[in-house]
Amino acid sequence: MNIEELRDYCISKKGVEETTPFGPDTLVYKVMGKVFLLTGLDSPSLQFNVKCDPEKVIELREQYPCVIPGYHMNKKHWNTILVDGSVPEKLIFEWIDHSYDMVVGGLTQKDKKLLKDL
């Protein structure tokens, strides 16, 4: 996986926008204005932060060396994924989907309806 594949996957999801609120070197993907993935463009290798169910956070970190506590994020809710080839891309996409789904699940009923109607 490279940055273009990550970007294409994120923006293909319903209601997603790509933003750069922290400057041109950090891409932030939001669904209905809520962040579900962040990635830096200045890292030598691809890595990104995704939201995760607090009950799964530790389990994933223990099971996969490429999953570490979320860099500059709340460690209880966020993981950093190091895309180093140690896990299949399918699993990486599942972690992105999980983050997206968690954020969508936390939206207000009004925003959920707006998203559904997009």
pLDDT attached to residue 43: 85
* CATH at 12: 3.90.1150.30
In DSSP notation, the chain reads --HHHHHHHHHTSTTEEEE-TT-TTEEEEEETTEEEEEEESSSSS-EEEEE--HHHHHHHHHH-TTEEEPTTS-TTTEEEEE-SSSS-HHHHHHHHHHHHHHHHHTS-HHHHHHHHT-
Number of domains composing the chain: 1
pLDDT tens digits, one per residue of 22-34: 999 999 999 999 9
Domain of residue 112: give its range: 3-116
Q: What is the reported pTM?
A: 0.95
